C-alpha cells in the first residue's frame, strides 16, 4: 500500500508545526488558521503535554484506509450482528493495513502489555446506531491478545445515560472497565482543569472546553470507534468529530441558530496534546449508519446499512471515505447535498431531509488536514477495499 504523497523536498507528509516539538512547562499559544478558508475564531490552547511516542495522528500509515464489507455482517431486517463475521472483517482489515500475515502481529505493532488503552465509543445514537458491542468486544479481545490486562482497558464515553443503553459488559472479557466521564450531566469532575481550549463563539459565559481527565492522566493509547453518520452541524460525524467532541467538555456551544463553528473547532480539539499523540488507531463501525438527522436517531427512516468496517491511523483519510459514502446515500435518497449552504434549506423540519438545523460544515475534514492530522486529497489516499463472503 502506498503512503501519502510527500511535500516536495521533505521526504515525508506535510505537517505544520502547530505544537512545539518539546515543552517542559505549561505553554500558551494560538493555532494558525488554514489560509484557504474564511476567517475563523481565535483559539487558545492550554496544555502542559508535548508530542510523544511514534503513533500520534496521522500515525504510521498516513493517507491510507482499509474498508472491509461483508453482506452477512448484520441483518438489516432484525439488526442482529454476526460476531464471527465481524471478527473476520477486523482481522482482514488489520492485516491489510500493516501488511502482516497474522492479525495478532498487526495488533502488536500498536500495543504492548504495559499499555492502558481507552476505547472511545460513540453512543450519541444509542442504542440504535452506536459503536456496536460485537465490534467493541472483538477489539477488547485483540487487545488482551497483545498482553494488555483487562483492568487496563477502558470503554469510555462522555455521558452515562447514553453508554448505559448498550450492553457492552456482556460482550467484553471480565475485568474490562466501562467509564462514563459525566455521571451527572454538566459535572466537571471528569475533566482536566489544566488542559483546555478557550474560545468565545457567541459571547457565552463559559468559554473553555476541557479535556477528559482519563485521557490526560491515565490512558497511554486510544482506539477511536466512531460510526458512519450524517451530522446536522458538521456535515458528517466520523473519526475526527468522535475523537474531538467526544473528549472535551462544553462543545455544543459551537452552534447557535443556523451558525456552527465545527469547521475549525473539530480539528483544533483533535490536535490538542496528549489526545493527538495517544490516539493510535481508528476503527469505524459502519455496520449501521445514519444518512440524515444525525448524530441522534430520531427517525429510523434515515438509518441505513453500509455493512462496513474502516480501519486506519489517519482520521482524515477515513473521514474522507465517510464523506463520499454519506453524500452518495443522500443523493440516492434525493436529499440535498451535505455541502449545501443555502439558508433556504435551514429550518426546524426534522422529517424533511432537504432541510437542516444548521449550515453544515463538512469542510472540517479538509481543515483538519491543514493542521497536519491527515491526508484529505482523495487522489493521494490509498483505500484498500476488501470483500468478506
DSSP 316-379: HHHHHHHHHHHHHHHHHTTPPPTT---GGGBSS-TT-TT-BSS---TTHHHHHHHTTS----GG
Predicted local confidence at residue 120, as pLDDT: 98
Which residues partner with 156 through β-bridges?
120, 179
Helix (H), strand (E) counts: the chain: 10, 17
CB 338 within 8 A of CB 236: yes
List the pLDDT tens digit at each of the 389 positions of the chain. 333 333 333 333 323 333 332 223 233 333 444 434 568 999 999 999 999 988 999 999 999 999 999 999 999 999 999 999 999 999 999 999 999 999 999 999 999 999 999 999 999 999 999 999 999 999 999 999 999 999 999 999 999 999 999 999 999 999 999 999 999 998 999 999 999 999 999 999 999 999 999 999 999 999 999 999 999 999 999 999 999 999 999 999 999 999 999 999 999 999 999 999 999 999 999 999 999 988 888 789 999 999 999 999 999 999 999 999 999 999 999 999 999 998 888 887 777 899 888 999 999 999 999 999 999 999 999 999 999 99
d(CA 327, CA 344): 19
C-beta atoms surrounding 32 within 10 Å? 12
Q: What are phi and psi of 7, to 5 degrees?
A: -70, 145
Q: What is the pTM of this model?
A: 0.90
CB 49 within 8 A of CB 300: no
Domain ranges of the chain: 42-387
CB 285 within 8 A of CB 259: no
CB-based contacts of 78, cutoff 8 Å, min separation 6: none
Cα angle 358, 360, 361 (rounded to 5 degrees) comes to: 135
d(CA 148, CA 145): 7
> Computed from CA positions of residues 357, 353, 66, 369, in that sequence, does the dihedral angle turn out positive or negative?
negative
User: Looking at beta carbons, which pairs linking 88-92 to residues 24 or more positions away fall under 8 Å?
Assistant: 88/388, 89/309, 89/388, 90/135, 90/138, 90/139, 90/142, 90/283, 90/309, 90/311, 92/68, 92/386, 92/388
Amino acid at each position: 500500500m502506498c503512503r501519502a504523497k510527500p511535500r516536495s523536498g521533505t521526504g515525508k507528509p506535510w505537517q505544520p508545526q502547530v505544537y512545539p516539538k518539546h515543552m517542559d512547562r505549561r505553554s500558551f499559544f494560538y493555532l494558525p488558521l488554514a489560509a484557504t478558508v474564511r476567517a475563523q475564531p481565535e483559539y487558545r490552547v492550554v496544555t502542559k503535554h508535548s508530542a510523544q511516542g511514534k503513533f500520534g495522528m496521522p500515525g504510521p500509515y498516513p493517507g491510507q484506509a482499509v474498508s472491509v464489507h461483508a453482506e452477512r455482517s448484520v441483518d438489516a431486517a432484525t439488526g442482529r450482528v454476526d460476531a464471527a463475521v465481524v471478527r473476520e472483517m477486523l482481522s482482514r482489515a488489520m492485516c491489510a493495513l500493516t501488511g502482516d500475515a497474522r492479525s495478532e502481529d498487526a495488533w502488536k505493532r500498536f500495543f504492548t502489555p504495559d499499555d492502558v488503552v481507552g476505547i472511545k465509543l460513540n453512543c450519541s445514537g444509542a442504542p440504535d446506531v452506536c459503536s456496536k458491542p460485537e465490534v467493541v468486544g472483538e477489539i477488547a479481545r485483540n487487545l488482551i491478545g497483545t498482553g494488555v490486562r483487562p483492568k487496563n482497558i477502558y470503554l469510555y464515553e462522555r455521558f452515562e445515560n447514553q453508554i448505559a443503553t448498550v450492553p457492552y459488559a456482556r460482550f467484553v472479557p471480565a475485568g474490562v472497565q466501562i467509564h462514563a466521564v459525566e455521571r451527572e450531566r454538566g459535572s466537571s469532575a471528569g475533566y482536566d482543569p489544566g488542559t483546555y481550549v478557550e474560545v468565545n463563539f457567541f459571547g457565552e459565559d463559559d468559554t473553555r472546553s476541557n479535556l477528559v481527565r482519563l485521557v490526560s492522566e491515565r490512558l497511554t493509547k486510544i482506539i477511536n470507534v466512531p460510526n458512519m453518520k450524517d451530522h446536522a452541524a458538521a456535515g458528517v460525524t466520523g473519526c475526527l468529530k468522535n475523537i474531538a467532541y467526544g473528549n472535551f467538555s462544553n462543545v455544543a456551544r459551537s452552534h447557535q441558530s443556523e451558525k456552527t463553528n465545527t469547521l475549525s473547532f473539530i480539528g483544533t480539539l483533535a490536535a490538542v496534546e496528549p489526545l493527538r499523540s495517544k490516539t493510535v488507531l481508528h476503527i469505524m463501525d459502519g455496520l449501521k449508519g445514519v444518512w440524515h438527522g444525525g448524530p441522534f436517531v430520531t427517525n429510523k427512516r434515515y438509518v441505513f446499512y453500509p455493512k462496513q468496517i474502516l480501519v486506519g491511523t489517519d482520521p482524515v483519510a477515513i473521514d474522507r471515505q465517510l464523506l463520499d459514502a454519506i453524500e452518495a446515500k443522500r443523493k440516492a435518497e434525493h436529499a440535498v447535498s451535505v455541502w449545501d449552504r443555502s439558508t433556504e434549506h435551514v429550518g426546524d423540519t426534522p422529517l424533511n431531509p432537504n432541510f437542516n438545523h444548521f449550515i453544515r460544515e463538512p469542510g472540517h475534514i479538509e481543515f483538519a488536514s491543514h493542521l497536519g492530522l491527515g491526508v484529505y486529497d482523495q487522489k493521494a489516499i490509498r483505500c484498500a477495499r476488501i470483500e468478506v463472503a
